[in-house]
Amino acid sequence: MLSPDDVMEMSPNLSGRVLHLSRGGTSVVIDLDAVPHPAIVHWGEELAGSTDETLRGLAVAARPQRVSGGLDAPARATLVATPAGGWLGTPGLEGHRDGASFSVRLELVDVEADGHRARLSLVDPEARLSAQLELDVGTAGLLRQRITLRNDGDSRYTLQHLHLAFPVPWDATELLDTTGRHLRERTPQRHPFGYGTYLRESRRGRPGADATLLLAAGRPGFGFERGRVHAVHVAWSGNHRLVAERSVSGEAFLAGGELFAPGEVVLAPGESLTSPEVIGSWGDGLNELAHRFHDEWRSRPEHPRRPRPVTLNTWEAVYFDHTLDRLTALADAAASVGVERFVLDDGWFLGRRDDTAGLGDWYVDPTVWPEGLHPLVDHVRARGMEFGLWVEPEMVNPDSDLARRHPDWVLRGRTTLPPSARQQQVLDLAHPDAYAYVAERLHSLVAEYPIAYLKWDHNRDLLDAGSGPEGIARVREHTLALYRLLDELKAAHPDLEIESCASGGARVDLGILARTDRIWTSDNLDPLERLVNQRYTALVVPPEMMGMHLTSPVVHSTGRTVDLDLSAAVALLGHVGIEWDLTGTDDETRRRIAAWVDYAKRVRPIVATGRTVDVDGTEPGIDVRGVVARDRSSAVFTLTQTDTTVSYPPGRVRVPGLDPGTQYRIRVVGGSTHAAAQSGLPWQEHDIRLTGRELDVVGLRPPVQYPQRSTVIELVAQSDTQAQGGAR
Ligand code: GLA
Q: What is the pLDDT of residues 192-233, one digit of tens each?
A: 999 999 999 999 999 999 999 999 999 999 999 999 999 999
For ligand 1, atom 2, which residue shows the shortest CA distance?
503
Question: How high is the pLDDT of residue 401?
Answer: 98
How far is 567 from 480, CA to CA, in rounded Å? 37
Task: Give the Cβ contact number of residue 694 at 10 Å.
Answer: 18
Strands 174-179 and 187-192, bridge-based pairing: antiparallel
Calculate the alpha carbon distances from 405 to 281, 347, 350, 399, 470 in Å: 48, 21, 15, 11, 21
For ligand 1, atom 4, which residue shows the shortest CA distance?
315
CB-CB contact of 22 with 47 (8 Å): yes
Which ligand 1 atom is nearest residue 390's CA? 10
- Among 523, 565, 614, 696, the active-site one is 523
* Helix, strand, or coil (residue 168): coil
How far is 362 from 445, CA to CA, in rounded Å? 9
CB-CB contact of 198 with 176 (8 Å): no
* Helix, strand, or coil (residue 316): helix
CB-CB contact of 462 with 475 (8 Å): yes
Give 576's contacts (C-beta < 8 A, 6+ positions apart): 308, 310, 311, 548, 549, 550, 597, 600, 604
The whole-number average pLDDT for the span 83-110 is 97
* Helix, strand, or coil (residue 621): coil
**346 CA to centre of ligand 1 in angstroms:** 7
The whole-number average pLDDT for the span 679-702 is 95
Model confidence at 105: pLDDT above 90: yes
For ligand 1, atom 11, which residue shows the shortest CA distance?
503
* Helix, strand, or coil (residue 570): helix
**522 CA to centre of ligand 1 in angstroms:** 10
Which ligand 1 atom is nearest residue 455's CA? 10
How far is 423 from 353, CA to CA, in rounded Å? 13
At 487-541, the pLDDT tens digits run 999 999 999 999 999 999 999 999 999 999 999 999 999 999 999 999 999 999 9
Assign 728 a pLDDT band (cuts: 50, 70, 90): very low
Which ligand 1 atom is nearest residue 355's CA? 12
Question: How high is the pLDDT of residue 672?
Answer: 64
How far is 522 from 722, CA to CA, in rounded Å? 39
Question: How high is the pLDDT of residue 687?
Answer: 87
Q: What is the DSSP letter of 349?
A: B
Model confidence at 7: pLDDT above 50: no
Question: How high is the pLDDT of residue 673?
Answer: 62
Model confidence at 701: pLDDT above 60: yes
Instruction: Give the H/E segment covering residue 557.
Output: none
How far is 598 from 600, CA to CA, in rounded Å? 5
Q: What length is written for the chain? A: 728
Model confidence at 124: pLDDT above 70: yes
At 176-191, the pLDDT tens digits run 999 999 999 999 999 9
**353 CA to centre of ligand 1 in angstroms:** 14
- In the chain, CATH 2.70.98.60 sits at 4-64+75-298
At 409-451, the pLDDT tens digits run 999 999 999 999 999 999 999 999 999 999 999 999 999 999 9
CB-CB contact of 522 with 556 (8 Å): no
Q: How would you label 589-598 residue by residue, b for 16+ Cβ within 10 Å and e otherwise? A: eeebbeebbe
| Residue % of the chain over a pLDDT of 90 | 94
Nearest of 217, 221, 219 to residue 246 by alpha carbon: 217
Q: For the ranges 9-18, 269-278, 463-472, which has the lowest average pLDDT?
A: 9-18
**187 CA to centre of ligand 1 in angstroms:** 20
Side chain identity, residue 666: I
How far is 629 from 639, CA to CA, in rounded Å? 18
The whole-number average pLDDT for the span 569-598 is 98
Nearest of 246, 242, 142 to residue 200 by alpha carbon: 242
Question: How high is the pLDDT of residue 12?
Answer: 35
Question: How high is the pLDDT of residue 699?
Answer: 98
Assign 2 a pLDDT band (cuts: 50, 70, 90): very low
The whole-number average pLDDT for the span 341-370 is 98
* Helix, strand, or coil (residue 609): helix
Model confidence at 1: pLDDT above 70: no
* Helix, strand, or coil (residue 595): helix
CB-CB contact of 610 with 628 (8 Å): yes
**457 CA to centre of ligand 1 in angstroms:** 7
> 4-64+75-298 maps to which CATH number?
2.70.98.60
Model confidence at 3: pLDDT above 50: no
- Among 31, 428, 457, 565, the active-site one is 457
Which ligand 1 atom is nearest residue 502's CA? 8
How far is 256 from 211, CA to CA, in rounded Å? 13
At 632-684, the pLDDT tens digits run 999 999 999 999 999 999 999 999 999 999 999 999 997 666 667 778 899 99
User: In sequence order, what DSSP letters do the residues of 15-76 get, joined into one string?
Assistant: TT-EEEEEETTEEEEEETTSSSS-EEEEEEE--TT--HHHHHHHHHHTPPPP-TTS-SS---
Q: What is the CA radius of gyration of the chain?
A: 27
Task: Give the Cβ contact number of residue 654 at 10 Å.
Answer: 18
Where is pLDDT greater, at 672 or 374? 374
How far is 281 from 129, CA to CA, in rounded Å? 30
Task: Give the Cβ contact number of residue 27 at 10 Å.
Answer: 21
**Catalytic-residue membership of 487:** no
Which of 523, 525, 579 for mutating ligand 1's site (highest number of atoms within 8 Å of CB)?
Answer: 523
At 224-253, the pLDDT tens digits run 999 999 999 999 999 999 999 999 999 999
Task: Report, at the CATH architecture level, how domain 615-726 is classified.
Answer: Sandwich (2.60)
Question: How high is the pLDDT of residue 10?
Answer: 38
How far is 412 from 404, CA to CA, in rounded Å? 15
Nearest of 726, 718, 697 to residue 615 by alpha carbon: 697
Question: How high is the pLDDT of residue 675?
Answer: 66
Nearest of 309, 318, 339 to residue 581 by alpha carbon: 318
Task: Give the Cβ contact number of residue 307 at 10 Å.
Answer: 13
Which of 315, 546, 552 for mutating ligand 1's site (highest number of atoms within 8 Å of CB)?
Answer: 315
For ligand 1, atom 7, which residue shows the shortest CA distance?
503
**505 CA to centre of ligand 1 in angstroms:** 10
Model confidence at 14: pLDDT above 50: no
Question: How high is the pLDDT of residue 504?
Answer: 98
CATH superfamily entry for domain 311-608? Aldolase class I (3.20.20.70)
**272 CA to centre of ligand 1 in angstroms:** 37
How far is 339 from 335, CA to CA, in rounded Å? 5
Report the interhelical angle of 587-609 vs 564-571 (nearest 10°): 20
CB-CB contact of 30 with 21 (8 Å): yes
Question: How high is the pLDDT of residue 56?
Answer: 95
Instruction: Give the H/E segment covering residue 688.
Output: none
Question: How high is the pLDDT of residue 720?
Answer: 80
- The sheet carrying 93-96 orders its strands as 93-96, 157-162, 265-267
Question: How high is the pLDDT of residue 721?
Answer: 74
**Catalytic-residue membership of 52:** no
The whole-number average pLDDT for the span 721-725 is 56
Question: How high is the pLDDT of residue 409?
Answer: 97
**Which residues does ligand 1 sit against, CB inside 6 Å?**
315, 345-346, 355, 390, 457, 459, 501, 503-504, 520, 523
pTM above 0.75, yes or no: yes
For ligand 1, atom 1, which residue shows the shortest CA distance?
503
Nearest of 168, 171, 132 to residue 150 by alpha carbon: 132
Which of 501, 521, 549, 578 for mutating ligand 1's site (highest number of atoms within 8 Å of CB)?
Answer: 501
CB-CB contact of 716 with 642 (8 Å): no
CB-CB contact of 199 with 241 (8 Å): yes
